[in-house]
Amino acid sequence: MAQFDFTTADGPIVGTKSFPNTRADINSALLALVSNSSGDAEPTGTQANQFWYETDTNTLKIRNEANDGWINVLTLDESMTASASELNLLDDLTRGSILYGDASGETARLAKGAANTVLTSDGTDISWAAAAGGGGSMEFIASSGAISNAADVQFRAQDGHFDSTKYDHYEFWFQHVIPELDAKTLKAQTSTNDGGAYASTDGDYHSNSTTDRDSLPVTHADVGSDTNEFGVSGKFYLFSPHTTSAYTYSKTTTVFMGAASGAIQGGETNSPHQGVGVRLAAEDVDAIKFSFSSGNIESGEIVMYGIKKS
């Protein structure tokens, strides 16, 4: 520890002192400079921007410009034992990663988590985990993208669309799905072999009061494709398709422009169409195909969501 009064009565350091005293003052001043005026009490003489290391608090301070107070620069832990490998973690830091204390109390790096994950703790260590979401919450799975003159739109387990470990039920949203040909109904067919084949025989399905159908209904009547007829919008629900001990049910709520009248079609009072359907087989459904009764899908989009398990 060394401190020195740089503002003695004789002037800065030397003043009018004799050589031996001047030499002693110079040595004292140099020691103070080298040690940052270290001591447990502040120096008796201060200058603006002067450093002082307060030894009892391990704090490095600097005098403010007005020379009427001290500014804390940093606190030093004299028992710091960080290894070179720990300090080098800063060089390896990547976008999104964080530094944390590991099981040994040493510095470690945790790489960024995957999309839609959050940082969690088990009470001891931290890690990334899927974002919280209770059972029944809806989660985006996939989109058809902008449809352009496609024969059909399929969602399949092999493409990651159906997953019975994560979802109980599914919703499909239609946005202005227009038929290539005028006056066609929109329908859905299911598969139990990941889209290898779809049930398409009369009697494979029932809907509302119709006992024999080749598909689950999305619309109950013909959809228009003329100018200012903008296709089908709405929702299609598929309930518990992974269940092999019972039939798979569906429900649809859609609105569309009818081909015959150009009015909004749905029921006898032109309300939005609501219908139900059932696949008459106790089998696992792991793929679904949407298409019109004939012709291609001219345009639109279909989006798939999953209802998460509890």
- What is the tens place of the pLDDT at every residue in 171-217? 999 999 999 999 999 999 999 999 999 999 999 999 987 788 999 99
Residue 270: the pLDDT is 38
Same domain, 158 and 277: yes
In degrees, rounded to 5, the angle at the alpha carbon of residue 76 between the alpha carbons of residues 71 and 80 is: 165
| Residue 180 DSSP SS3 | coil
Same domain, 109 and 227: no
Query: What integer is the mean pLDDT of 87-109?
Result: 78
Same domain, 162 and 47: no
Residue 126: the pLDDT is 87
Same domain, 155 and 300: yes
8 assigned to some structural domain: no
Answer yes or no: is pLDDT of 75 > 90. no
Q: Which of these ranges, 97-101, 137-141, 283-287, has the smallest mean pLDDT?
A: 97-101
Closest CA to 38 of 59, 17, 15, 18: 59
Same domain, 187 and 304: yes
Q: Say how many residues make up the chain.
A: 310
Identify the band that residue 1 occupies on the pLDDT scale cut at 50, 70 and 90.
Answer: low
| Residue 28 DSSP SS3 | helix
From the centroid of its chain, how far is CA 127? 15
11 assigned to some structural domain: no
**Phi-psi map region of 252: left, alpha, beta (phi>0 left; psi -120 to 50 alpha):** beta
Same domain, 171 and 114: no
Identify the band that residue 15 occupies on the pLDDT scale cut at 50, 70 and 90.
Answer: low
Helix (H) / strand (E) element for 23: namely helix 19-34
258 assigned to some structural domain: yes
Burial 141-162 (b: 16+ CB within 10 A, else e): beebeebeebebbbbbbeeebb
Same domain, 202 and 98: no
Tell me the pTM: 0.58
Same domain, 209 and 142: yes
Among 56, 75, 94, the domain-final residue is 75
272 assigned to some structural domain: yes
DSSP-assigned states of every residue in 65-130: TTSS-EEEEEE--TT----HHHHTHHHH--TT-EEEE-TTS-EEEEPPPPTTEEEEE-SS-EEEEE
Identify the band that residue 83 occupies on the pLDDT scale cut at 50, 70 and 90.
Answer: low
265 assigned to some structural domain: yes
* Residue 60: CA count within 13 A, CB half-sphere: 10
Contact 131, 119 (CB under 8 A): no
Same domain, 123 and 180: no
Same domain, 149 and 248: yes
Expressed as residue numbers, the domain containing 213 is 138-308
Same domain, 108 and 256: no
The domain total for the chain is: 3
Residue-averaged pLDDT of the chain: 83
Residue 114: the pLDDT is 85
**Phi-psi map region of 13: left, alpha, beta (phi>0 left; psi -120 to 50 alpha):** left
Same domain, 143 and 51: no
